[in-house]
Structure 1
Amino acid sequence: MTRAGKGNLNVVEELYSQIPAFTDVFSEDTFYIFVVFFVLSTLMVAFILSKFITIKPVE
């Protein structure tokens, strides 16, 4: 591996070490709560946007 390649790998490893692991962010319960709120909010946003956006057929 070239010297620049090792330097790039070190940068990636440093950035990766700064990002918390999945288990550091979520427990099993908090993950399920997050998923429920994410799905409900996505449905709510889609419903609200559907009131303002109409798709017209191209003739």
Structure 2
Amino acid sequence: MTKSSKGNLHVVEELYNQIPEFTDVFSEDTFYIFVICFVLSTILVAFILSRFITIKPVE
């Protein structure tokens, strides 16, 4: 490896170490709560947008 690629790898490793692990962010309960809220909000946004967006066929 060249010196610049080792430097790039060091930067990537430093950035990777700054990102928290999944288990640091979520417990099992909080993950399920997050998924339920995410799904419900996605359905709500899709429903609201469906009232304002009309798809017309191309002629």
User: Do the two structures share a fold, i.e. TM-score over 0.5?
Assistant: yes
Could you list the structure 1 runs, at least 4 aligned residues long, displaced by more than 4 angstroms after superposition: none
Is there any run of 5+ residues in structure 1 with no aligned partner, and where? none
Question: Partners of 1:38 and 1:51 in 2: how far apart?
Answer: 20
The superposition leaves residues 15-56 of structure 1 with CA deviations (integer Å, 9 ceiling, x where unpaired) of 011000000000001000000000000000000000000000
Question: Partners of 2:12 and 2:58 in 1: how far apart?
Answer: 47
3-state DSSP class of the match of 1:58?
coil
Q: TM-score, normalised by structure 2?
A: 0.98
What is the match of residue 40 of structure 1? 40
Q: TM-score, normalised by structure 1?
A: 0.98
Is there any run of 5+ residues in structure 2 with no aligned partner, and where? none
What residue identity is the alignment partner of 2:54?
A: T
